[in-house]
Amino acid sequence: MSSTEPLSGALWQGAGFAFIWVVMHTFPSLAGWGLAEVAFLYGLRLTAHALAMIPMMSVHDIHWIVRNGEFDRFLLRPLNPLVQLMGNKMGMSQLGDLLVGVTLLAVTARNVPVDWNAWLVAYCVVAVAGGALIEAAFFLALSALSLRMVDTSALRVFVDDVFSRFGSYPMKVFGGVTEWLLTFVLPVAFVAYVPAGVVLGKLDSPWALAGPLLGLILIKLAYLIWKRQLDNYQSVGH
């Protein structure tokens, strides 16, 4: 592990937020969201992303592990192969993402128009966990396909890019078909926009548990896909 990996991750995400800061000094409001509110949204999204990818980054190399025949050794051990794969290495640059995300949340929480209490803080924790499960579910499901199919890393990078690029803004900015797709097809909105909207009073409270519940459903489906692919896995030696 390089000691500079967390720093590089923090610098990369810091640069991403700096771009939003510049945009919002030109346009002080994005779909009715001020700078502090967008920063809070960005912090939620980034924290969820980091918590998803810190344990999942080792899964990113699954196509190489399968091609080189290294995956077979996971099957010979009594521990769950997915747990072994996730423990193979950690996403260290994502520690920098986590640092930036938590820092943004801590700073912006004081500047958004929210009357904080224990329930809202607990909800934010649950919402972040739900967002992390949503991202992890898509990553796991696409990674699982590499057990039987060609390399899916390009598709995984594309999906991750969509979550990162669009998930840091209020969905109303995109409007129309794009907003619908990012909510009901690739549920980017449920990672951070929906919980941030609930906390900030911009979305009705019935949306509150949508992200966490969707996260639980999707991670269960993703694991079923993983199990299905694993059951039909054939060693490269066969």
Select the more confidently predicted residue: 22 or 60. 60
236 lies in some domain: no
What was the pLDDT predicted at 191? 96
Instruction: Name the token pair of 99.
Output: 């640092």
207 lies in some domain: yes
118 lies in some domain: yes
What was the pLDDT predicted at 1? 46
Neighbouring CB atoms inside 10 A of 89's CB total 12
The string of pLDDT tens digits covering residues 143-197 is 998 887 767 888 888 999 999 889 989 999 998 899 999 999 999 999 999 999 9
Burial string for 26-59 (b: 16+ CB within 10 Å, else e) reads: eeeebeebbbbbbbbbbbbbbbbbbbbbbbbbbb
User: Is 152 in contact with 143 (CB distance < 8 Å)?
Assistant: yes
User: Residue 14's pLDDT band (boundaries 50, 70, 90)?
Assistant: low
219 lies in some domain: yes
140 lies in some domain: yes
161 lies in some domain: yes
The string of pLDDT tens digits covering residues 96-127 is 788 888 988 998 999 999 999 999 999 999 99
> How many structural domains does the chain have?
1
Instruction: Name the token pair of 51.
Output: 């918590």
237 lies in some domain: no
pTM: 0.87
Domain that holds residue 95: 5-231
147 lies in some domain: yes
Q: Which segments of 185-209 does DSSP mark as H helices, in order? A: 193-199
Q: Check the CA dihedral 71-76-82-86 and report its sign.
A: negative
